């Protein structure tokens, strides 16, 4: 697993120039003929008017704002972990309304199908009986939770908060790279980036007709409340965090604050006669809905990992008893498993009878012998990922690796082929970024956030993650990635005059 | 209603912020004294170091080094930077409970104190550095007062501040006036320095004019009704915030913190300067310190570490 980390952290010089991979990548601002795309015109004009020094000054103001607000994440190192500002880029990424309409309908369709899939596999398992998805692929996945079998989940909404990673294919069309259905993070950066870009480009922002994302916290609260039982009319919602040392702690506190609900840790909760309570200054108080930002494994030492001190003993039994709601439901990870991912277009067709609006990236399953040999023969062209890992760990980016790294990784894959998938190296699209006072293109992806309770809502905005090192394709914040604000433009008809 | 852990954190933020501010003032007065006269400066340094609980007499002869360690030594859990780091760490743990304005102020003080330039700034002008830190902490209090709801959480914050203030104040007075075997503090410069340590020089002058006398200083810092750093004022605040907090308590704790706070307040309210002098100020001040400590423990028992069996829902 060390291999990929080493690969990702090599200096610019050792990277193979990106031109070797594919022709010039799709650029968000500039078309192939060099013309600025119409939806970027106003920003391009503004950038031309501002000098490099002015931009650098604005970048400093922005960083100061982030530092003062404490918008930081924790980087885990071998010996120590440190608190850092998430690198944020000044220049917004802009998405026109017609492209967004497609993303919105595509994501809605996808989450609806994935929740139906979860309800099915934790229920009658019809899709497995019909042989659409291999039975062992689902039942042997480490993220499959036997304990969830035959449990009632309101609205069949297993995944209440979803953050899907989209990338542009070479032709410019968006495709889904990954679904995050466990505890997706990053939404606070989406909101903080928006605050920052409003301060930085007030004029351009005002004129652009950017759709508002301010309602995310109250929509999240409404989604969570919609999961409550009817006989609990005024449900007590809490956000469960692993604590202040978690890398996403800032986000947990941020969401709790904006929803106006308590931010609790495992040690604040107790289970008594199958009910969940929190310890307040005036005694115990009943908890109805837990928006947990703790992984499945750690929520209840009695049901899952015994060595977890982050969770609450007896929580899962209270959940099974219908006395508390856990959002997202335990076991949703099986639907964003990297191997199950390959079957999502089939899953959509199976439940909804529709073609997927947003396509998948072509995926090779190393569990299939024929596909494995293809993968091993083409390691230098593919990205190989461990099925269970996330955050850019445990992966090999073929074109950016050395022969020695590939040889070592091939052995790892051969030892446990079912644990690996491979995808072609997609040359992510680029967007203009401010690098050392100069505007330069960097690779980006797109993570929109989708809420699902009694209805599905896609927030018209997203986290655009940026690979800040030139040529790098790794956008994860744990691997030197940054982020930038994402402007989703309103339809011209809806725009203010 | 708020989480017990959150209440505890807010309380500790209050304590650490108060402690940091008090120690900034002590360091500043101590360093200023070194600029003036040597023999009085040693006396002032001795008072300041004894008041922060540093009995090491060797450090008295090197007040600058002692102050640098007191301010910037991250290894020393009693230093100002450590207090601020803990206040900020607690604030991070209850980030959802304090307003952004309040958080920003505290985070700013912390970042300034821990920045790589802090040592240089302190060396370049310790007085300016400490003065700015105190001003920043005042901004923190102001932001809390102006933007937080004056409910339960805010009361825990203030309770921590006033308990810490009462304990530190009692300790300072004990060092200066508590020991009857020693010759009483009489040097004019040392006496004004004591007033400065208590942030009380100007209010004192307005109350008693420039007639600087040990007895009047003791009386002012102990019993003044209106001065926000006098023990009488602090203990009245402790009682007020506590009684407001205990009214939400469903069950009465065995050792109610409210009863203790009420007794302390009454003790200060009806204290008589002649009696205190007859009894010896040292004994009186020690009692106050002990009672503050007892309130601290009772508070923890009643609101934070209560036994669950007593609070199970009916």
CA B23 to chain A, closest CA, distance in angstroms equals: 24
Total H helices, total E strands in chain B: 15, 0
Confidence band (pLDDT; 50, 70, 90) for A392?
Answer: low
pTM of the model: 0.88
Sort out which chain A residues have CB atoms less than 8 A from B103's CB and list them. 69-70
The minimal CB distance from B4 to the residues A257, A272, A280 is found for A280
CA A219 to chain B, closest CA, distance in angstroms equals: 18
The minimal CB distance from A253 to the residues B5, B96, B250 is found for B96
Confidence band (pLDDT; 50, 70, 90) for A27?
Answer: very high
- Cα gap B49→B55, rounded to integer Å: 7
Are the Cβ atoms of B95 and A70 closer than 8 angstroms? yes
Looking at B36-99, list the stretches that DSSP marks H as alpha helix, in order from N- to C-terminal side: 38-51, 63-72, 80-93
Radius of gyration for chain B, computed over Cα atoms and rounded to the nearest angstrom: 20
- Cα gap B11→B159, rounded to integer Å: 6
The minimal CB distance from B303 to the residues A69, A249, A281 is found for A281
Confidence band (pLDDT; 50, 70, 90) for A266?
Answer: very high
pLDDT at B112 over 60: yes
Q: Express each pLDDT in B247-302 by its tens digit.
A: 777 655 555 788 899 999 999 999 999 999 888 899 999 999 999 999 999 999 88
Q: Does B210 touch chain A (CB under 8 A)?
A: no
Are the Cβ atoms of A286 and B313 closer than 8 angstroms? yes
The minimal CB distance from B5 to the residues A68, A257, A268 is found for A268
Are the Cβ atoms of A253 and B304 closer than 8 angstroms? no
Are the Cβ atoms of B311 and A284 closer than 8 angstroms? yes
Residue partners of A204: CB distance under 8 A and separation at least 6: A42, A43, A46
Question: ipTM more than 0.90?
Answer: no
- What tokens does A66 get? 């982030």
Are the Cβ atoms of A278 and B3 closer than 8 angstroms? yes
Sort out which chain A residues have CB atoms less than 8 A from B312's CB and list them. 272, 284
Are the Cβ atoms of B95 and A263 closer than 8 angstroms? yes
Q: Closest by alpha carbon to A329, among A291, A285, A359?
A: A291
Q: Express each pLDDT in A273-310 by its tens digit.
A: 999 999 999 889 999 999 999 998 888 888 888 777 78
Sort out which chain B residues have CB atoms less than 8 A from A239's CB and list them. 96
CA B252 to chain A, closest CA, distance in angstroms equals: 10
**From the CB of residue B314, how many other CB atoms can be counted at a distance below 10 Å?**
3
Q: Closest by alpha carbon to A224, among A161, A276, A269?
A: A161
Q: What is the DSSP letter of B148?
A: S
pLDDT at A82 over 70: no
The predicted pLDDT at position A363 comes to 92
The predicted pLDDT at position A64 comes to 85
pLDDT at A2 over 90: no
**From the CB of residue A407, how many other CB atoms can be counted at a distance below 10 Å?**
11
- The rounded Cα A391 to chain-centroid distance in angstroms is 9
Q: Which domains does chain A have, with CATH numbers?
A: 2-229+322-488 (no CATH), 230-321 (3.40.50.11290)
CA B312 to chain A, closest CA, distance in angstroms equals: 6
Confidence band (pLDDT; 50, 70, 90) for A321?
Answer: very high
Domain boundaries, chain B: 1-147, 164-306
Higher per-residue pLDDT: A151 or A21 = A151
Q: What are all long-range contacts of A304-307, with beta carbons under 8 Å and residues at least 24 apart? A: A304/A330
Confidence band (pLDDT; 50, 70, 90) for B37?
Answer: low
Sort out which chain A residues have CB atoms less than 8 A from B89's CB and list them. 244
The predicted pLDDT at position A23 comes to 60
- Cα gap A445→A435, rounded to integer Å: 18
Q: Express each pLDDT in B146-174 by its tens digit.
A: 999 999 999 999 999 999 999 999 999 99
Are the Cβ atoms of B6 and A262 closer than 8 angstroms? yes
Are the Cβ atoms of A244 and B92 closer than 8 angstroms? yes
The predicted pLDDT at position B185 comes to 82
Asked whether A479 and A236 are in contact (CB, 8 A), the reply is: no
The minimal CB distance from B111 to the residues A67, A264, A268 is found for A67
Sort out which chain A residues have CB atoms less than 8 A from B101's CB and list them. none
The predicted pLDDT at position A470 comes to 85
pLDDT at A11 over 70: no
Pick the residue of A69, A281, A287, A313 with the most B CBs within 10 A to test the interface with B by mutation: A281
Nearest residue of A to residue B313, measured between CA atoms: A284
Asked whether A151 and A317 are in contact (CB, 8 A), the reply is: no
Residue partners of B109: CB distance under 8 A and separation at least 6: B84, B88, B133, B136, B137, B140
Sort out which chain B residues have CB atoms less than 8 A from A249's CB and list them. 92
Q: Does A82 touch chain B (CB under 8 A)?
A: no
- Cα gap A421→A402, rounded to integer Å: 20
pLDDT at A478 over 50: yes
The predicted pLDDT at position B42 comes to 85
- Cα gap B55→A203, rounded to integer Å: 61
Mean pLDDT of chain A: 87
Q: Express each pLDDT in A54-81 by its tens digit.
A: 888 888 888 888 888 888 766 665 555 5
Asked whether A29 and A431 are in contact (CB, 8 A), the reply is: yes
Sort out which chain A residues have CB atoms less than 8 A from B3's CB and list them. 262, 264, 268, 278-281
pLDDT at A493 over 90: no
What percent of chain A stands above pLDDT 70?
91
- Cα gap B48→B168, rounded to integer Å: 11
Sort out which chain B residues have CB atoms less than 8 A from A281's CB and list them. 1-4, 7, 152, 245, 248-249, 303-304
pLDDT at B55 over 50: yes
Q: Express each pLDDT in B13-30 by its tens digit.
A: 999 999 999 999 999 999
């Amino acid at each position: 697993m060390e291999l990929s980390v080493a690969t990702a952290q090599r200096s610019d010089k050792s990277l193979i120039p990106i031109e070797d991979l594919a022709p010039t990548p799709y650029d968000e601002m500039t078309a192939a003929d060099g013309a600025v795309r119409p939806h970027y015109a106003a920003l391009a004009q503004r950038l031309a008017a501002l000098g490099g020094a002015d931009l650098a000054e604005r970048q400093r103001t922005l960083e100061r704002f982030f530092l003062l607000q404490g918008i930081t994440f924790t980087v885990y190192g071998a010996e120590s972990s440190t608190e850092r500002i998430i690198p944020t880029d000044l220049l917004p990424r802009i998405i026109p309304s017609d492209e967004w309409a497609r993303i919105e309908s595509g994501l809605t369709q996808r989450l609806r199908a994935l929740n139906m899939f979860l309800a099915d596999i934790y229920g009658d398992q019809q899709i497995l009986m019909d042989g659409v998805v291999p039975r062992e692929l689902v039942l042997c996945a480490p993220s499959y939770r036997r304990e969830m079998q035959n449990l009632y989940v309101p609205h069949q909404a297993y995944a209440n908060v979803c953050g899907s990673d989209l990338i542009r294919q070479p032709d410019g069309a968006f495709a889904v790279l990954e679904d995050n259905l466990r505890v997706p993070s990053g939404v606070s950066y989406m909101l903080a980036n928006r605050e920052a870009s409003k301060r930085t480009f007030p004029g351009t922002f005002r004129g652009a007709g950017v759709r508002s994302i301010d309602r995310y916290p109250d929509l999240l609260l409404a989604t969570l409340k919609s999961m409550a039982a009817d006989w609990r009319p005024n449900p007590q919602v809490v956000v469960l965090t692993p604590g202040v040392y978690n890398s996403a702690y800032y986000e947990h506190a941020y969401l709790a604050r904006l929803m106006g609900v308590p931010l609790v840790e495992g040690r604040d909760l107790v289970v008594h006669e199958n009910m969940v309570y929190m310890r307040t200054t005036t005694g115990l108080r009943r908890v109805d809905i837990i928006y947990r930002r703790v992984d499945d494994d750690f929520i209840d030492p009695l049901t899952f990992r015994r060595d977890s001190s982050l969770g609450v003993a007896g929580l899962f039994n209270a959940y099974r008893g219908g006395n508390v709601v856990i959002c997202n439901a335990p076991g949703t990870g099986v639907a964003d498993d990297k191997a199950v991912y390959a079957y999502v277009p089939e899953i959509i067709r199976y439940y909804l009878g529709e073609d997927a609006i947003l396509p998948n990236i072509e995926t090779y399953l190393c569990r299939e012998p024929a596909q494995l040999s293809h993968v091993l023969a083409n390691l230098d062209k593919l990205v190989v990922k461990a099925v269970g890992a996330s955050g850019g760990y445990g992966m090999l980016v073929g074109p950016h690796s050395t022969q020695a790294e590939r040889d070592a990784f091939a052995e790892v894959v051969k030892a446990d082929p079912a644990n690996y998938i491979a995808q072609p190296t997609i040359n992510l699209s680029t967007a203009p970024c401010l690098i050392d006072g100069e505007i330069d293109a960097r690779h980006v992806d797109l993570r929109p956030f989708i809420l699902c309770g009694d209805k599905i809502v896609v927030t018209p905005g997203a986290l655009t993650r940026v690979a800040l090192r030139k040529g790098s394709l790794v956008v994860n914040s744990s691997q030197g990635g940054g982020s930038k604000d994402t402007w989703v433009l309103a339809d011209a008809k809806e725009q203010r005059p | 209603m708020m989480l017990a852990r959150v209440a505890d954190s807010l309380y500790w933020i209050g304590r650490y912020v108060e402690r940091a501010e008090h120690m900034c003032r002590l360091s500043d007065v101590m360093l200023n004294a070194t600029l003036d006269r040597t023999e009085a400066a040693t006396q002032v340094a001795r008072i300041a170091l004894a008041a922060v609980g540093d009995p090491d007499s060797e450090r008295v002869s090197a007040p600058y080094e002692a102050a640098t360690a007191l301010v910037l030594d991250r290894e020393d859990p009693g230093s100002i930077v450590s207090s601020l780091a803990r206040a900020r760490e607690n604030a991070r743990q209850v980030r959802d409970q304090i307003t952004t304005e309040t958080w920003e102020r505290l985070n700013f003080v912390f970042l300034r104190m821990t920045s790589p330039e802090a040592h240089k700034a302190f060396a370049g002008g310790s007085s300016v550095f400490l003065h700015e830190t105190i001003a920043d902490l005042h901004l923190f209090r102001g932001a809390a007062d102006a933007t937080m709801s004056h409910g339960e959480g805010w009361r825990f914050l203030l309770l921590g501040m006033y308990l810490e203030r009462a304990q530190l104040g009692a300790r300072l007075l004990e060092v200066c006036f508590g020991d009857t075997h020693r010759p009483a503090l009489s040097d004019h410069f040392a006496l004004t320095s004591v007033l400065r340590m208590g942030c009380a020089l100007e209010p004192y002058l307005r109350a008693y004019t420039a007639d600087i006398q040990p007895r009047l200083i003791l009386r002012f810092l102990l019993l003044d009704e209106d001065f926000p750093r006098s023990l009488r004022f602090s203990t009245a605040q402790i009682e007020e915030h506590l009684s407001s907090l205990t009214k939400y308590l469903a069950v009465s704790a065995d050792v109610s913190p409210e009863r203790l706070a009420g007794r302390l307040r009454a003790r200060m309210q009806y204290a008589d300067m002649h009696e205190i002098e007859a009894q010896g100020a040292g004994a009186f001040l020690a009692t106050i310190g002990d009672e503050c400590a007892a309130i601290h423990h009772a508070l923890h028992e009643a609101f934070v570490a209560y036994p669950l069996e007593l609070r199970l829902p009916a």
